[in-house]
Structure 1
Amino acid sequence: MFTGLVETIGVLRRRSGGAVARALIEASLGPLTLGESVSVNGACLTVDRIAPGGFECDMSSETLARTTLGALTVGARVHLERAMPLGARMGGHVVLGHVDGIGRVVEQSRAGDALRMRVSAPTDLAPFLAPKGSVAVDGASLTLNAVSTPGSAETWFDVMLVPHTIDRTLLSELRPGAAVNLEVDVLARYVARTLQVASIAGLQSLSSRDAREGDAPAERGEERGNTGENADHDERLLAKLRAGGFW
């Protein structure tokens, strides 16, 4: 588990392999232990060998396919964060290092000493993005200032890079079109899952109730009408499905 507060910038010094890649990352992270987790541009990787001035780790085919790490070239700089120790202050938000999708920088504009950055995101992440919520961009915890309207053809969000973030991360160097790893807030993920399961359970309950009411569907439809108790229940259920992003 991480907080999204980038500790330092590392450099990819060597990579090898095909479906599973081996990477040597140069970093100043202090004493490392074998098997510990390190967030590399927002992706949780395991320290497999401690090297002078850095560490080696393996990147699975899943990691290479679902994150930007597969496109990194030797010499690329990356955000690094060690796992959060139990009992430490949590300055960002809960970040698991499980990348949900790849976004792309749309634009950056100056806002005083800060930078406003807009990022496009996969459409399936839209239900998890909310104004004043949290998102991890290449492993950096950021606050969502604005998000696209639900149902929009394109999904995007705006974040503000304050001077501290500009100084400690590589985000200000990103140009339009640059790919970034995105991880939505785990709390939003579980809320959406809970609503999804509840909606499905409601549909199943409705179906079971209909089956128990007998073999006269036409009569049942007439009894319900459009203003009865059952119609109200159906409308509430449909509203939950719409709110959950099903249409």
Structure 2
Amino acid sequence: MFTGIVEEIAIVKNIVREKENLHLTVSCSFVDELKIDQSVLHNGICLTVVAIGSETFTVTAIKETLDVTTLGQWEIGQEINIERGMLANARLDGHIVQGHVDTVGRCVSIQDAQGSTYYGFEYDSKVKHTTIAKGSITVDGTSLTVVDSGINTFSVAIIPYTREHTVFKHYQLGQLVNLEFDVIGKYVEKLLQIRSV
């Protein structure tokens, strides 16, 4: 489990394909604190540490993960948001994030608001999950509050600190992002579907 509070920006150092799997090697400041089998969030994707070097660690993504995320399009040298799993005795400063990406979204608007920045996103109309105003959404592993919510669209407002310390600072129109909808909302949606049958 994660909080969506990005720990730092890491750098992709190597990408190796092996059959349908992809091995991703990443550098960050806390490599010496990691352990094999530990979960780390990479732009919202929960991946397991399989190897640790002196300054890098490696994780493996399977085909299912590659099919529903942006990971297959990443490049060497790319910056990504990372976060280690939440400690049981820690404050939940963001919201409950599982690291299970629901779909890929696209940035459709970026607006400067003289102190904050508004980003608008859209996602496939076939995705049945929804957002609500003032609800939670995870964009590339960043816990955010929804400002406006529409059918298959939503917007968020980013304060300067968040923009500077996450990959949001690199976003451009058309940017593809990993989306994870609020897990509580997904359970409510499922229960309503069952009751309507």
For the superposition of Structure 1 and Structure 2, which TM-score range results when normalised by the shorter chain? over 0.9
Pick aligned residue for 1:139 from 138, 141, 151: 141
Equivalent pairs counted in the alignment come to 195
Structure 2 counterpart SS, 1:146: strand
Counterpart Cα distance in 1 of 2:58 and 2:146? 33
Q: Structure 2: which 5+ runs fail to align?
A: none
Contact between 1:43 and 1:98, CA under 8 Å: does it hold in 2? Answer: yes
1:199, CA displacement in angstroms?
1.2
Give the match for residue 79 of structure 1: 81
8 A contact 2:51–2:59 mirrored in 1: yes
* Distance 1:36-1:27 versus aligned 2 partners, 3 A rule: same
Equivalent-residue separation in structure 1 for 2:36 and 2:43 (angstroms): 20
> Considering only CA atoms, is the larger Rg found in Structure 1 or Structure 2?
1
Matched ranges for 1:43-82 at <5 A: 43-82=45-84
* Aligned equivalents of 2:112, 2:174: Cα separation in 1: 18
Residue type at the aligned position of 2:195: A
In the alignment, does 2:164 pair up with 1:172? no
> Residue 196 of structure 2 aligns to a residue in which SS?
helix
Contact 1:125/1:184 (CA < 8 Å) preserved in 2? no
Structure 2 CA distance for partners of 1:26 and 1:127, relative to 1, 3 Å: closer
| 8 A Cα contact 1:115 1:172, kept in partner | no
Secondary structure of the structure 1 residue equivalent to 2:5: coil
Question: Which deviations, in whole Å up to 9, do the C-alpha atoms of 1:92-124 show, x marking residues without a partner?
Answer: 000000000000000101111110110112224
TM norm structure 1 = 0.76
Give me the whole-angstrom Cα distance separating, in 2, the residues matched to 1:135 and 1:51: 33
For residue 50 of structure 1, report the CA deviation from its aligned partner.
Answer: 1.1
Letter paired with 1:94: I
Which range moves more in the overlay, 87-96 or 23-32?
A: 23-32
Q: Which residue of 1 aligns with 2:20?
A: 19
2:92 alignment partner in structure 1: 90
- Which of 181, 190, 193 is equivalent to 1:193? 190
Out of 48-57 and 186-195, give the one that drifted further: 48-57
- Cα drift, residue 64 of structure 1: 1.1
One-letter identity of the residue aligned with 1:23: L
Q: Which has the higher contact order (CA 8 A, sep 6+)?
A: 2
Partner of residue 111 from structure 1, selected from 110, 113, 116 = 113
CA RMSD of aligned residues (A): 1.2
Verify: 1:161 aligned to 2:162, yes or no. no
Residues 24-67 of structure 1 deviation map (CA, whole Å, 9 limit, x = unaligned): 11111250011010000000000011111221111111111110
The SS at the match of 2:188 is helix
Larger strand percent: 2
Contact 2:129/2:181 (8 A) holds in 1: no
The runs of 5 or more residues in structure 1 that have no matched partner are 201-247
Instruction: Write the letter of the residue equivalent to 1:20.
Output: N
Q: Distance in 2 between matches of 1:19 and 1:67?
A: 15
Cα distance in 2 between the residues matched to 1:124 and 1:3: 27
- Give, in angstroms, the shift of residue 126 of structure 1: 5.5
- Structure 1 position 182 matched with structure 2 position 182: no
Distance in 2 between residues matched to 1:191 and 1:131, nearest whole Å: 16
1:3 matched to 2:10? The reply is no
